[in-house]
Structure formats: structure tokens, C-alpha cells
Amino acid sequence: MILLARQQSQMHRILEALIRRLPSTHVDYMNYYDKLMRIQAGFAGEKRVDAEWLEINLPNPHYFLHDLQILNHFGNTHQIDSILLCPHFILILEIKNITGFLEFDESFTQFTRTTAQGVVEGMIDPFHQVRRHAEWIKRLLQQYKVEVPVHYAVVLATKNAILSESLKGQPIFHVSGLRYHVRKWLEQNKEVMLDADELFLFATKLLSRHMPIKREITIPFRDIVKGVLCVRCLNGQRMSYYNNKWTCQRCGLIDQEAIFRTLEDYKLLVGNSLTNKSFCEFFAIDSPNLAYRLLQKLPLKAEGIKKHRKYWIKDG
């Protein structure tokens, strides 16, 4: 059972909105575009591993927490790609969607990859990351007086990563090996350590600590392309509103959902509150009266009256 489903991160959605609304000639466009490509690749890799679980026979009950984000008592964050909780053990996965020839020097805790072009790049040590998560989980288990083995591994989501001899003995494998390793852990941990109630209680305690990490990108408001944009046309083509319809004058698309996507872009790039004036500016609407009518149709909570009226974007 999935207690915490994997979703796009806030940074993922912010970068998608930015790429929609930054001119391709903007000085920071390529930096944001490259970052978005990396995040999208990572998310695709995580979904690839999620799909592998569907064909693995697991003991019941069991629970998954994907992309668990927690603030520890030191004020530092844990962003755990996947946790499996079952009656026999707890498994923590760090998922990597990286390519190239991978090497590890344990004496220096140095993880590197050599690209197809022969470039050697230093990377964050994934074993340190996943061990840190495991140590935190173990401390939490002690705090709740729960005894259960904790295993961890780094899972490579792409076949284009080649493991060198230096990685032998390290907890790392390709996603295709997940089934084998889960079977091995089950053979090593045959004893039932947690009954159904204990397992569910600890899983829900972990879930209760989930606190999505808030990310922000500061970019001048003037640099953002304004308007309700057509999803079919490129280069920020604005749609027009007449006869109660949003229509693209270039391709003829009628899209009544476009205004809701624009509201989500506003929320991601500007903030949760808006006024008639800021609505006109971001949505590129000349008429305050039309803006007022449109605001009434959106999922907003209104406060104040007349020129002091403010609208808050509802969650969900």
C-alpha cells in the first residue's frame, strides 16, 4: 500500500512554469532549462523504479513512502526517494538516474563518473546520502522502542550506467536487480519483527513528519512573459478572451483550462495572493471589470472590499 505517492516536486513545477514564461533569449534561460532537464530525468528514473515494485511479491501488510521529506532535530533535511516498510525489515532506496562509467574510492569517499566523451566528473557520494537516511531511521526506531532491521541501497534507474570493479561489495545495483535483492533480504530476515498494528503505527508516524521542502526562485517580475498562453503554440503566444472563451488567434485552439494553468503559474512564480491589479498585469487583461468577472470564476478566497480586496489561491 502506498501511503505517500510520488509527485512532482515544487521546484520541478516552478522550473516548468519558468521555461513556459521566460523568453529563450533570457540570460538565465539555459541554466533553468538544464536544471529542469536534470530534474525531469531524475523523476523519470524514480518512476521507473516505482514500476518495478508492481511485479515483486512482497509480504503483507507493507507500506511505501515515496519522496519523504523530513526536517530532523538538527534543522537539516532528509529527502528520501523511497522507503519500504514490511513486517521483516525496512528498506531505504536512493535512486540515481546517471549514466557513464562509475567508480568509487572508499578511502577518499570519492564517487566519480566518466562520460561517453571521456570527461571525469566528481559526484555526491550516494552511499553517504543513503547511510545518513538509514542512521536517522534507526535513531527514530530507538526513540519509539521499535526493533526491526534497516537495509539500504543505491538503485540505478538507467542501463547506461556501468559499474566498475571498485563498486563491488557496495550496496548499489541496477533497477533490474531490485527483485533479486528484495528476495535476498527476505531470506535473510525471515522473522516477523512487527505485527500489522505496529507496522502501520510506525509508518503513519513517519508520514506525519513529512514536510515538503519549499523552494523559491527569485526572478524579476518584468522578465516573465505575461498572459494566458496557448499550449499548442510556442514562443509565449497569448490567448484572447471573448464570447466567454479563451481562444488562440494563431492556431484557433479553444482552451477553457488555460486560465487555471495561468493561475498555477502565478502561484508558483509570484505568490498565493493577488489583487485585481496584479491579476490584470499577469494575465494581460486591459479591463478591470473583465478581470473582476474572471476572478469570481476562479478557486479563490476573497478578503476585503473594493480597492482593498485581495484574493488568495486555494490549495489543490
| Domain termination site, one of 162, 180, 208 | 208
Q: With pLDDT > 70 as the criterion, what percentage of the chain qualifies?
A: 100
- Bridge-based pairing of strands 273-274 and 310-313 is antiparallel
Looking at the fold, whether 156 and 289 belong to one and the same domain comes out as no
Output the pTM of the full model. 0.87
> Angle at CA 75, nearest 5°, toward 32 and 67?
55
In a domain, 234, yes or no: yes
| Domain termination site, one of 181, 208, 235 | 208
In a domain, 15, yes or no: yes
**Residue with C-alpha cell 561517453?**
116
116/225 Cα distance (integer angstroms): 37
| Peptide bond connecting 171 to the previous residue in cis, omega within 30 degrees of 0 | no
283/55 Cα distance (integer angstroms): 46
Q: Supply the pLDDT for residue 75.
A: 80
Looking at the fold, whether 253 and 280 belong to one and the same domain comes out as yes
Looking at the fold, whether 119 and 72 belong to one and the same domain comes out as yes
DSSP letter, residue 230: -
In a domain, 213, yes or no: no
48/149 Cα distance (integer angstroms): 26
Looking at the fold, whether 172 and 257 belong to one and the same domain comes out as no
Sign of the CA dihedral 235, 240, 246, 247?
negative
Looking at the fold, whether 178 and 255 belong to one and the same domain comes out as no
Looking at the fold, whether 200 and 286 belong to one and the same domain comes out as no
Looking at the fold, whether 193 and 250 belong to one and the same domain comes out as no
pLDDT, tens only, 153-207: 999 999 999 999 999 999 999 999 999 999 999 999 999 999 999 999 999 999 9
| Segment 229-254 mean pLDDT | 90
pLDDT band at 316 (very low <50, low <70, confident <90, very high): low
Q: Supply the pLDDT for residue 304.
A: 86
The CATH number of the domain holding residue 269 is 1.10.10
pLDDT band at 17 (very low <50, low <70, confident <90, very high): very high
Looking at the fold, whether 197 and 260 belong to one and the same domain comes out as no
| Domain termination site, one of 175, 208, 241 | 208
Smallest CA-to-CA distance from 295 within 275, 315, 269, 272 is with 275
Decide: helix, strand or coil at residue 116: coil
Beta bridge partner(s), residue 111:
104, 123
60/51 Cα distance (integer angstroms): 18
Query: Which strand (E) or helix (H) includes residue 240?
Result: strand 239-242
Looking at the fold, whether 33 and 138 belong to one and the same domain comes out as yes
For residue 255, the enclosing domain spans: 225-313
| Segment 244-251 mean pLDDT | 92
pLDDT, tens only, 90-118: 999 999 999 999 999 988 889 999 998 99
Looking at the fold, whether 177 and 264 belong to one and the same domain comes out as no
| Length of the chain counted residue by residue | 316
Looking at the fold, whether 127 and 254 belong to one and the same domain comes out as no
Domain count, the chain: 2
